[in-house]
Amino acid sequence: MVVWGGVVRVTGSGLACPDWPLCHGQFLPSLDTATRIEWTHRFLAIVSGLAVAALVLWSLLRYRADRRVLALAIVAAVLYPLQAVLGAITVVLELPPEWVTLHLANAELLLATLTILAVVVRWPELARSRAPGWTWLALAAAVGTFVLMLSGAYVRGAGATAVCVTWPLCQGPIELLYANAATIHMAHRYVAGAVGILVIFACVEAWRHRRDAPGLGPLAIATAAIFSAQVAIGAANPLTGFSPWALGAHPAAASLLWCSVVALAAVSWRSTAPQGQLVRDLIALTKPAIMSLLLVTALGGMFLAAHGVPPFGILVATLVGGAAASGGAASLNHYFDRDLDERMRRTRHRPLPAHRVSTRLAVAWGVALNVVAFVVLALFTNLLAASLAIAGTLFYILVYTLWLKRTTAQNIVIGGAAGAVPPLVGWAAITGSLDLAAWLLFAIIFFWTPAHFWALALLIRDDYERAGVPMLPVVRGDEATTWNILAYAGFLLPLTIFLFIAGDLGLLYLGAALVLGAVFIAYAWRLLRAGETRRRVLARGVYLYSLVYLALLFVAIMVDSTLRL
């Protein structure tokens, strides 16, 4: 699908189907050459989507005890429908360079997720090894390759592909680069040179350490060979007068190189490595998995408020500010919960209870991120969005973490309001106000949170009991908890239907809300009917599905809002 997307760009067929998801209002329109190319891309997207869905389902069934596999499968389940949203936006807005680049970026992130998943499943023993000191070189090569691909996509989107007809310089000495298009094109070549140095050094180090881990030697050879081929193809573009085969092969080889470099970095990486431990711990303090889900809900609020695609600058600022606010709140939560984390098996290896990060640094990190969040949102969106983000942090820390969590079994019910703030931030960033639909988004997450969190509490009830945290399963037992999970899952269905009416959403959203809600209720009912011996096994299924439910519901909001343009 990614390779054929490059063919679409190279041939200029991106608007051969000017509507979405149909093509000229039909599933199978009359196929002139350009339409055939674009329609084939969409058909491959459908096939790939079915394959990803099957992979996610199989991972949930076969690898539910492996947290790494489950996490990667859930990421894939979120990225793929998000890719459909970005594809629709790209078509509806008639291929603006920023959205074309973002569309490619998400596709490559999905490829990276699937690559890492393949590595984890193929070599599960890697997690028990120690990382070599050159791991950061491999990671730098992967990040550099990603940036290189994005710069290449921007070159194509900006129409600067053919402005430089010589290689390696652009039509002569560097002083002649006064034109903006030529500058964009040459910037891509300079990035390629810098990334090439990283990739070659990473391959050399991987080859030197090929006996340290399975797969390192072959991956080093493959990565070096693909990179060499990519350089040759890049040079062949201007030297052959930008012939179709060279134009099409260049993005295809770039994606192949990306997968190879990501695999090389994944094989070299070990969670127990002392190298770069501080950076990993600072990232862990931000709870990136939770952050990503919160950002999806903020995006849903933005799309619904804009009745379509939000302005690109506001979207980026909201995501940056929202990520900083979420990460800062999580870091402060780590600080205030460090005594509880030390008594729980699931959390005792976190950076603070394991004494890898000082309490002073954790607090400074959390405060600094919240300052960044407020400044970014206030400057680039509006004061209401910035104030809501900070209010969410204060509520999470002062009301939930320091008070409710330690005193009442209803802690997560009231405290869940903190996690429901991101769609309000997204809505306020677009409109500067809060309307009924915004509060309905808030209410959906507010009622989703107890059902989601109590399923996790059933899984780790012993941990909460040991730490003295009055979670509902500890205070009232498993059966009462399952009844409450069913009740809250049931409340979600009418709320999501009401959003269909009040939020001016269409039938696509309504269908998604009904199906997702019915499945959630079915999961909760199955958990209620289960005996004690199977309850914890089924609780894991409810917990995992609740994550998928919220992500897909907000993706449906984005898709529906975009189509209604």
How many Cβ atoms sit within 10 Å of the Cβ of residue 139? 21
Could you tell me which of 230, 254, 145, 260 has the C-alpha nearest to residue 195?
Answer: 145
User: CB pairs under 8 A, 24+ apart, for 415-418?
Assistant: 416/445, 416/446, 416/449, 416/450, 416/453, 417/442, 417/446, 418/329, 418/392, 418/393
State the pLDDT at residue 180: 72
Task: Write the CB contacts of 546 (distance below 8 Å, at least 6 apart in sequence).
Answer: 448, 451, 452, 455, 520
State the pLDDT at residue 126: 64
CB distance 369 to 327 below 8 Å: yes
Alpha helix (H) residue ranges in 461-531: 461-467, 472-476, 478-502, 507-529
CB distance 219 to 267 below 8 Å: yes
CB distance 187 to 285 below 8 Å: no
Could you tell me which of 348, 339, 333 has the C-alpha nearest to residue 392?
Answer: 333
CA distance linking residue 264 with residue 251, whole number of Å:
20
CA distance linking residue 395 with residue 419, whole number of Å:
10
Residue 88: what residue type?
A: A
Whether omega before 21 lies within 30 degrees of 0, making that bond cis, reads yes
State the pLDDT at residue 136: 80
State the pLDDT at residue 97: 78
Q: How far is CA 511 from CA 210, 496, 515, 546, 565, in A?
A: 51, 11, 6, 18, 19
CA distance linking residue 77 with residue 81, whole number of Å:
7
First to last CA, the chain: 25
CA distance linking residue 279 with residue 365, whole number of Å:
12
State the pLDDT at residue 175: 41
CB distance 264 to 270 below 8 Å: no
State the pLDDT at residue 422: 96
How open is the CA angle 61-545-408, to the nearest 5 degrees? Answer: 125
For the chain, give the number of residues: 565
CA distance linking residue 396 with residue 387, whole number of Å:
14
CA distance linking residue 487 with residue 91, whole number of Å:
41
10-residue stretch averages of pLDDT, the chain, 565 residues long? 82 81 77 84 89 88 80 86 84 81 88 91 66 73 88 78 78 49 82 89 87 84 91 85 82 90 84 56 89 92 91 90 95 94 89 91 94 94 95 94 90 91 96 94 95 92 90 91 95 94 88 95 92 82 91 91 72
Domain map (residue ranges) of the chain: 1-97, 123-275, 282-563
Class of domain 282-563 (CATH, top level): mainly alpha
Phi, psi of 23 (to 5 degrees): -125, 110
Question: What three-state secondary structure class fits 26?
Answer: strand
CB distance 355 to 339 below 8 Å: no
State the pLDDT at residue 271: 37
How many Cβ atoms sit within 10 Å of the Cβ of residue 428? 27
CB distance 419 to 412 below 8 Å: no
Phi, psi of 371 (to 5 degrees): -65, -45
DSSP-assigned states of every residue in 226-277: HHHHHHHHHHHHHHTTS-HHHHHHHHHHHHHHHHHHHHHHHHH--TT-STTH
State the pLDDT at residue 151: 84
Q: How far is CA 425 from CA 78, 311, 313, in A?
A: 21, 15, 15
CB distance 200 to 227 below 8 Å: yes
How open is the CA angle 296-300-302, to the nearest 5 degrees? Answer: 115
Q: For 337, how many CA atoms within 13 A lie in the half-sphere containing its CB?
A: 26
Residue with tokens 């509520």: 395
Task: Write the CB contacts of 436 (distance below 8 Å, at least 6 apart in sequence).
Answer: 502
Q: Which tokens sit at 521? A: 């209720």
